[in-house]
C-alpha cells in the first residue's frame, strides 16, 4: 500500500483514532503485516504518536509488524485440538516446511493460536482468515504443496462446503454446524420481521423491559446477570446517546454455540438487538465479532442490508416512531480478554483490550463514555422469543432460578460432539448419555475458567445455582492425563491471554505452571501443594473475570482430583530445592571427561 | 457545596467528599493505604493491586473506587496486609532488582514499601526474566529490569499535543514500556525529568544525574513511606481545628 492508499483507508474511517482496529485490519489485509513505515503514516494521519498505534497493534494476536508470509497458518492449540491430534498436524507442517511454529519459510508462516471456536471439528486452523477443519498430517502436507503451487486459499479446500448456511454464497466455508438438539432458539419456528412488526411495535420500552424481567432471563455470556435489570439500569442512565453491543467474541475454549447461532439465526439475533436497543433507548448497535469468525462478515452484512430494506433497521425500525437504530460490525483482532465487556468496549474504541476499573459500569459510562449495554449473542436471541411468547412462557422452561434453554457446545471424548439446545436443569449424566460419551473420567464445565468435575458429581445439574456455564462442555475419557494434558493446557491459555495489567494475573499462573511442572516431574512435595493453593488465592484481587478465574484449572483439579497430585508428590520429603547437582555439572564433567564426584 | 459522605474504615467513622477515591478519602482521615501505580493528579490505573481493600466484604482497589455513603471499608487486616506483601514480593521476583546498585535507592517506592512491610525474603521464587536496558535515547536511560509496569509514565507524561510518549507494548508476561522513537529523540529536559520523577522505581533515569541527591538524604531514608503524608495530613487537620 502506498502512502496515498493508506490515507484513503484513513479517510474512509474519517481519520478517527477510535477506529484504529478497523484501520489496522484493512491495511494489514494487503500483505499480512504492517511495517514501521506504515505505522508512521497511520500515526500522522490520525494525529497520534507512533507508540499510540503500536500499543494497540502489539496487543492483538493477529497483528504483526513483521512479515508472516503470503500464506499464514494459525493452528489452534486448544485442549480439544490437542485431543484430536493437533500435534501430528503441527509436526507435518514443521517437517514439510523445515521451520518451527512462530517462523516463516517459503513465504508461509506457521503460528499457534488459542481456540478458534471449532471444537466440534478439530484439529482446525485459520489460513489467511479462512477456516480449515478436521486436519490430518496428510492434509497438512497437501495444503503446503498447494501453497507452493500458488493456489488461492479457497481452492485448497478438500471437500464441499459445510451444511446449511455454511455453503451459502457469502459464507462458502467448510465449517459444519453439528446441531444435535434444537429448542426455541435453534428450531425453525421463527419468521423474519414478524415479531418486530406485529409485537414490538405495539409495546413501550418499559413494557419490553418488564416482560424481560418477568421472564427471569439471565445473561448467557457466562456471568448470568439478569437481562431485564441490566436494561433498566441502562435505560435510566443519563447520556446524550446510548449504545448496544452484541458480544460475539466467543473465545472461551470449547465454546462454539455463538458461531452456529450467527450462521443459522442472524436475523433473530439482529432482531434481538433491535428489541434491546428499543428497550434501553440506543440509537447505535455494534456487533463485536471475533476475528476468527470474520468469514461470516459479508454474510452478516448482507442480512443487515436486507433488514434495512425490509424496514426493520435504520430509520424507524418496524415503523416505530421516534426510534432510529442501526448496527455495524466491529471485528476483533485476536484476544480472548476482549470478550470481557469493558475490554470489548475498549477494543471497539481502537485501544488495547484492557478491562476497565469498575465503577463506573458500562451501563453508566461505556462506549465513548455513553451508557452502554453489552449482551451475549444467545441472550439477544432469547429475548426475541420472550417478546414473541411472553415472559411467563420462558419461566415454564428450565428450573426455578434458571429459566429457558441453554445452547451447549459439547466436544471432546464423545460420539456426537456439537450443539445441544437444552432446558436448564439437565444433569451431567444425562447429557453425557445424549452425547454418547463412555468411560468418562471428567467433564470440564464452562471452559478453562469453569470447573473440572469428577464422576461423583455427575448428578449435578446445569443451572445458575449449581453448575453455571456459558455453554462449553469438554468431555474427557479415561485415556486422558488430566494434569499434563488438561490443567497444563488451560494454564498456558491464561498465561497467554492475560492482558498483563494486574500484577497477580501477569505472574501467578506462570508460577503455578512451574509448580505443576515440578509435581509432574516427580520433584514435588507437600509444600508445592500448599503453595499452589495459597498463591492461587491471590488471584481474587485481580481486576477482571479472567484474573479471577485463571487459577481455576489448578484450584478445581486440586479439589476434585487431589489423588492425581498426591500420586505424584514425594511423600518422604518435606522439601525439594528442585536443584539437581548431577545434571547441573553434567556438561562440564563431559567437557573435561571426568565422572562427577558427588 | 460539595456533598459529604460518611463511611467507616476499620470501624472508624470517617467523612469525605462524595465521589473521591478511597485512597484520598482515607488520607484525609489520617489513614494511609499503600499504593504503587497510583500517582497524584493522574487518572488511576488500578493495575498493581497493592491498594486492595475490602468494601462490604468485596476486594476492590482503593485508588479506583469512589467512597459512598455507608461503605464499610477494611484496610488494616491480616488478610489484606498479606495480600499487599505478596504483590510487592511478586514484583521483586518478576523484575531484577539490585537495590544497592540502583540510582533510585532511597527514593524508590517499591523498596520503601518492602521496608515498610518488613519483607525479608519473597515467598515466590525469583523468575530471572530477561529484560533489556535501553540507553539509546539521548536523555533517558531506560532499565527494564527495574520496571514494575505501573503505567505511571504512560499516563503522566504526554507531549504538548497530548500524544503518548510512553506506551504499553505487547501483552501478558511480555508487556513492556516503550518510549516513542521520535518523541524520545526530541524529549524536552522538563519532560525527561518528569518521567524520572513519576517512575516509582529506577527504571526511567535522566542520564548523568542519578546520584545527585546523596544516599542518606533521600525521601525514604529516614521516614518510612506512608508516614510522611499521613503526618502532614494530620498536622494539616490539627491546624484546621485550631
Ligand atoms: C475473560 C472473559 C471473557 C468473556 N468472554 C465472553 C464472550 O466471549 N462472550 C460473551 O458473551 N461474554 C463473555 N464474557 C462475559 C462478558 O463480560 C459479559 O458479561 C457478557 O457479554 C454480558 O452479556 P450477557 O449478560 O448477555 O451474558 C467474558 C467475560 C470474561 C471475564
Ligand atoms: S485480571 Fe488479568 S486480564 Fe483482567 S485486567 Fe487484570 S491483568 Fe488484565
Ligand atoms: S495503587 Fe491502586 S492498584 Fe495500584
Minimal Cβ distance to A503: which of B64, B91, B166: B91
Ligand 3 atom closest to Cα of residue B64:
2
In this prediction, residues B117-131 reach a mean pLDDT of: 95
Domain holding B49: CATH number? 3.10.20.740
3-state secondary structure B123-183: CCCCCCCCCCEECCCCCEEEEHHHCCCCCHHHHHCECCCCCECEEEECCHHHCEEEECHHH
* Total number of domains in chain B: 2
The answer to whether residue B242 scores a pLDDT higher than 80 is no
Cα dihedral across residues A377, A378, A381, A386: positive or negative: negative
Q: How far apart are CA B77 and CA B75, in angstroms?
A: 6
Residue A526 buriedness (CB in 10 A; 0-12 / 13-18 / 19+): middle
Of all protein residues, whose CA lies closest to atom 6 belonging to ligand 2?
A502
Minimal Cβ distance to A501: which of B47, B65, B87: B47
Domain holding B103: CATH number? 3.30.70.20
Could you tell me where the beta strands, DSSP code E, fall in A62-107? 71-76, 103-105
Listed residues B61, B76, B91: the one ending a domain: B76
Query: Does ligand 1 come within 6 angstroms of the Cβ of A337?
Result: yes
CB contact under 8 A, A541 and B49: yes
Query: Does ligand 1 come within 6 angstroms of the Cβ of A528?
Result: no
For chain B, what is the mean pLDDT?
92
Report the side by side order of strands in the sheet with B140-143: B133-134, B140-143, B204-206
B71/B96 same-domain check: no
pLDDT of residue B98: 94
pLDDT of residue B237: 44
pLDDT by residue (tens digit) across B53-110?
999 999 999 999 999 999 999 999 999 999 999 999 999 999 999 999 999 999 999 9
Of all protein residues, whose CA lies closest to atom 6 belonging to ligand 1?
A339
pLDDT of residue A153: 95
Q: Is the peptide bond before A360 cis (omega within 30 degrees of 0)?
A: yes
List per-residue pLDDT tens for chain A, 598 residues long: 999 999 999 999 999 999 999 999 999 999 999 999 999 999 999 999 999 999 999 999 999 999 999 999 999 999 999 999 999 999 999 999 999 999 999 999 999 999 999 999 999 999 999 999 999 999 999 999 999 999 999 999 987 899 999 999 999 999 999 999 999 999 999 999 999 999 999 999 999 999 999 999 999 999 999 999 999 999 999 999 999 999 999 999 999 999 999 999 999 999 999 999 999 999 999 999 999 999 999 999 999 999 999 999 999 999 999 999 999 999 999 999 999 999 999 999 999 999 999 999 999 999 999 999 999 999 999 999 999 999 999 999 999 999 999 999 999 999 999 999 999 999 999 999 999 999 999 999 999 999 999 999 999 999 999 999 999 999 999 999 999 999 999 999 999 999 999 999 999 999 999 999 999 999 999 999 899 999 999 999 999 999 999 999 999 999 999 999 999 999 888 888 878 888 889 889 989 998 877 7
Q: Which domain holds residue B158?
A: 83-208
Q: Does B20 touch chain A (CB under 8 A)?
A: no
Of all protein residues, whose CA lies closest to atom 8 belonging to ligand 2?
A499
pLDDT of residue B212: 86
B242: in domain: no
CB contact under 8 A, A540 and B48: no
B239: in domain: no
CB atoms within 10 A of CB A160: 9
B218: in domain: no
The answer to whether residue B126 scores a pLDDT higher than 50 is yes
B24/B113 same-domain check: no
| Phi and psi, residue A454, nearest 5° | -95, 165
Q: Does B111 touch chain A (CB under 8 A)?
A: no
Listed residues B60, B76, B92: the one ending a domain: B76
- Three-state DSSP state, A199: helix
| Phi and psi, residue B234, nearest 5° | -65, -45
The answer to whether residue B240 scores a pLDDT higher than 70 is no
B234: in domain: no
B147/B188 same-domain check: yes
CB contact under 8 A, A538 and B83: yes
CB contact under 8 A, B171 and A54: no
What structural domains does chain A harbor? 3-59 (no CATH), 71-160 (3.40.30.10), 181-395 (3.40.50.11540), 405-480 (3.10.20.600), 483-566 (1.20.1440.230)
B68: in domain: yes
pLDDT of residue A193: 96
Of all residues in chain B, the percent with pLDDT exceeding 90 is 83
Residue of A nearest to B178 (CA): A51
For chain A, the distance separating the N- and C-terminal CA atoms, rounded to the nearest angstrom, is 64
B96/B195 same-domain check: yes
The size of chain A, in residues, is 598
B43/B118 same-domain check: no
B168: in domain: yes
B89/B203 same-domain check: yes
**In a mutational test of the pocket of ligand 2, which residue from A59, A502, A510, A538 has the highest number of ligand atoms less than 8 Å from its CB?**
A502
Minimal Cβ distance to A499: which of B161, B171, B183: B171
User: Whole-structure pTM over 0.90, yes or no?
Assistant: yes
Minimal Cβ distance to A503: which of B48, B164, B180: B48
B93/B199 same-domain check: yes
B8: in domain: yes
pLDDT by residue (tens digit) across B182-239?
999 999 999 999 999 999 999 999 998 888 888 889 999 888 999 866 555 445 444 4
Q: Residues with Cβ < 8 Å from A525, sequence gap 6 or more?
A: A569, A570, A573, A574, A575, A576
Residues of chain A contacting residue B164, judged by C-beta atoms under 8 Å apart:
48-49, 51-52, 55
B71/B90 same-domain check: no
CB contact under 8 A, A58 and B170: yes
Query: Does ligand 1 come within 6 angstroms of the Cβ of A398?
Result: no
B23/B106 same-domain check: no
Show which residues on chain A lie within 8 Å of chain B, measured between beta carbons. 47-52, 54-55, 58-59, 335, 352, 357, 359, 495-504, 506-508, 510-511, 514, 531, 535, 538, 540-543
Query: Does ligand 3 come within 6 angstroms of the Cβ of B36?
Result: yes
- Three-state DSSP state, A240: coil
Q: How far is B61 from chain A (nearest CA, A)?
A: 8
Q: Are B9 and B32 in contact (CB under 8 A)?
A: no
Which H or E element spans position A551?
none
pLDDT of residue A594: 87
Ligand nearest to C-alpha A357: 2
Q: Does B38 touch chain A (CB under 8 A)?
A: no
CB contact under 8 A, A359 and B66: yes
Ligand nearest to C-alpha B45: 3
B62/B87 same-domain check: no
B72/B94 same-domain check: no
**In a mutational test of the pocket of ligand 1, which residue from A245, A339, A547 has the highest number of ligand atoms less than 8 Å from its CB?**
A339
B216: in domain: no
B32/B121 same-domain check: no
CB contact under 8 A, B163 and A55: no
Q: How far apart are CA A114 and CA A46, in angstroms?
A: 31
Q: How far apart are CA A66 and CA A85, in angstroms?
A: 30
Q: Which ipTM did the prediction report?
A: 0.94
Residue of B nearest to A510 (CA): B173
Amino acid at each position: 500500500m502506498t502512502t496515498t492508499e493508506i490515507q484513503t483507508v484513513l479517510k474512509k474511517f474519517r481519520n478517527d483514532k477510535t477506529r484504529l482496529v478497523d484501520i489496522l485490519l484493512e491495511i494489514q489485509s494487503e500483505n499480512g503485516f504492517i511495517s514501521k513505515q506504515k505505522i508512521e503514516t497511520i500515526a500522522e494521519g490520525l494525529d497520534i504518536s507512533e507508540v499510540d498505534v503500536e500499543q494497540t497493534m502489539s496487543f492483538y494476536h493477529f497483528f504483526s509488524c513483521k512479515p508472516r508470509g503470503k500464506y499464514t497458518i494459525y493452528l489452534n492449540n486448544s485442549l480439544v485440538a490437542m485431543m484430536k491430534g493437533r500435534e501430528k498436524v503441527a509436526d507435518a507442517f514443521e517437517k514439510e516446511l523445515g521451520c518451527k511454529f512462530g517462523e516463516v519459510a517459503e513465504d508461509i508462516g506457521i503460528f499457534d493460536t488459542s481456540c478458534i471456536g471449532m471444537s466440534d471439528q478439530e484439529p482446525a486452523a485459520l489460513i489467511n482468515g479462512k477456516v480449515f477443519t478436521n486436519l490430518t498430517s496428510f492434509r497438512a502436507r497437501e495444503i503446503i504443496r498447494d501453497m507452493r503451487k500458488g493456489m488461492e486459499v479457497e481452492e485448497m479446500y478438500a471437500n464441499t462446503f459445510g451444511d446449511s448456511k455454511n455453503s451459502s454464497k457469502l459464507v462458502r466455508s467448510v465449517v459444519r454446524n453439528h446441531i444435535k438438539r434444537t429448542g426455541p432458539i435453534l428450531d425453525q419456528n421463527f419468521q423474519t420481521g414478524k415479531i418486530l412488526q406485529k409485537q414490538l411495535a405495539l409495546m413501550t420500552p418499559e413494557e419490553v423491559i418488564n416482560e424481560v424481567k418477568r421472564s427471569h432471563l439471565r445473561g448467557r455470556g457466562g456471568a448470568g446477570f439478569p437481562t431485564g435489570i441490566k436494561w433498566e439500569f441502562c435505560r435510566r442512565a443519563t447520556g446524550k446517546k446510548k449504545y448496544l453491543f452484541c458480544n460475539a467474541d466467543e473465545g472461551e475454549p470449547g465454546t462454539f454455540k455463538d458461531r452456529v447461532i450467527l450462521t443459522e439465526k442472524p436475523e433473530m439475533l439482529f432482531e434481538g438487538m433491535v428489541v434491546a436497543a428499543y428497550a434501553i433507548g440506543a440509537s447505535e448497535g455494534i456487533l463485536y465479532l471475533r476475528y476468527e469468525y470474520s468469514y461470516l462478515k459479508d454474510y452478516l452484512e448482507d442480512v443487515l442490508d436486507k433488514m434495512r430494506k425490509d424496514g426493520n433497521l435504520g430509520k424507524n425500525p418496524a415503523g416505530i416512531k421516534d426510534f432510529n437504530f442501526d448496527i455495524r460490525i466491529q471485528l476483533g483482532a485476536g484476544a480472548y480478554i476482549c470478550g470481557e465487556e469493558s475490554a470489548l468496549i475498549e477494543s471497539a474504541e481502537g485501544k488495547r483490550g484492557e478491562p476497565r476499573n469498575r465503577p463506573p459500569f458500562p451501563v453508566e459510562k461505556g462506549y465513548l463514555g455513553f451508557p452502554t449495554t453489552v449482551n451475549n449473542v444467545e441472550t439477544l436471541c432469547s429475548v426475541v422469543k420472550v417478546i414473541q411468547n411472553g415472559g411467563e412462557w420462558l419461566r415454564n422452561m428450565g428450573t426455578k432460578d434458571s429459566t429457558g434453554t441453554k445452547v451447549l457446545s459439547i466436544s471432546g471424548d464423545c460420539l456426537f460432539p456439537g450443539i445441544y439446545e437444552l432446558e436448564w436443569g439437565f444433569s451431567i449424566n444425562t447429557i453425557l448419555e445424549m452425547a454418547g460419551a463412555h468411560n468418562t473420567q471428567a467433564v470440564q464445565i464452562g471452559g478453562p475458567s469453569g470447573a473440572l468435575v469428577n464422576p461423583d458429581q455427575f448428578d449435578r445439574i446445569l443451572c445458575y445455582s449449581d453448575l453455571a456455564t456459558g455453554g462449553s462442555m469438554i468431555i474427557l475419557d479415561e485415556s486422558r492425563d488430566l494434569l499434563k494434558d488438561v490443567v497444563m493446557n488451560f494454564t498456558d491459555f491464561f498465561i497467554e491471554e492475560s492482558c498483563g495489567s494486574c500484577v497477580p494475573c501477569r505472574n501467578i499462573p506462570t508460577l503455578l505452571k512451574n509448580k505443576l511442572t515440578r509435581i509432574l516431574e516427580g520433584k514435588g512435595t507437600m509444600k508445592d501443594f500448599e503453595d499452589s493453593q495459597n498463591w492461587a488465592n491471590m488471584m481474587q484481587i485481580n481486576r477482571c473475570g479472567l484474573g479471577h478465574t485463571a487459577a481455576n484449572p489448578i484450584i478445581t483439579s486440586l479439589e476434585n482430583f487431589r489423588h492425581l497430585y498426591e500420586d505424584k508428590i514425594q511423600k518422604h520429603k518435606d522439601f525439594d530445592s528442585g536443584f539437581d547437582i548431577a545434571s547441573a555439572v553434567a556438561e562440564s564433567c563431559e567437557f573435561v571427561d571426568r565422572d562427577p564426584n558427588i | 457545596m460539595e456533598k459529604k459522605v460518611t463511611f467507616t474504615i476499620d470501624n472508624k467513622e470517617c467523612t469525605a467528599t462524595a465521589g473521591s477515591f478511597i485512597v484520598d478519602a482515607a488520607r484525609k482521615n489520617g489513614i494511609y493505604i499503600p499504593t504503587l501505580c497510583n500517582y497524584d493528579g493522574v487518572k488511576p490505573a488500578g493495575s498493581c493491586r497493592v491498594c486492595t481493600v475490602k468494601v462490604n466484604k468485596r476486594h476492590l482497589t482503593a485508588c479506583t473506587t469512589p467512597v459512598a455513603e455507608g461503605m464499610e471499608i477494611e484496610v488494616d487486616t491480616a488478610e489484606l496486609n498479606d495480600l499487599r506483601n505478596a504483590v510487592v514480593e511478586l514484583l521483586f521476583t518478576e523484575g531484577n532488582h539490585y537495590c544497592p546498585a540502583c540510582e533510585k535507592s532511597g527514593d524508590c517506592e517499591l523498596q520503601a514499601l518492602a521496608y515498610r512491610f518488613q519483607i525479608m525474603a519473597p515467598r515466590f521464587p525469583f523468575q530471572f526474566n530477561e529484560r533489556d536496558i535501553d540507553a539509546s535515547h539521548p536523555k533517558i536511560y531506560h532499565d527494564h529490569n527495574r520496571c514494575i509496569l505501573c503505567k505511571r509514565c504512560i499516563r503522566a507524561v504526554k507531549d504538548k499535543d497530548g500524544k503518548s510518549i510512553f506506551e504499553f507494548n505487547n501483552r501478558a508476561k511480555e508487556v513492556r514500556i516503550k518510549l516513542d522513537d521520535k518523541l524520545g529523540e526530541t524529549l524536552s529536559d522538563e519532560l525527561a525529568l518528569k518521567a524520572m520523577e513519576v517512575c516509582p522505581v529506577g527504571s526511567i533515569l535522566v542520564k548523568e544525574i542519578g546520584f545527585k541527591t546523596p544516599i542518606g538524604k533521600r525521601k525514604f531514608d529516614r521516614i518510612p513511606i506512608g508516614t510522611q503524608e499521613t503526618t502532614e495530613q494530620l498536622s494539616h487537620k490539627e491546624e484546621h481545628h485550631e
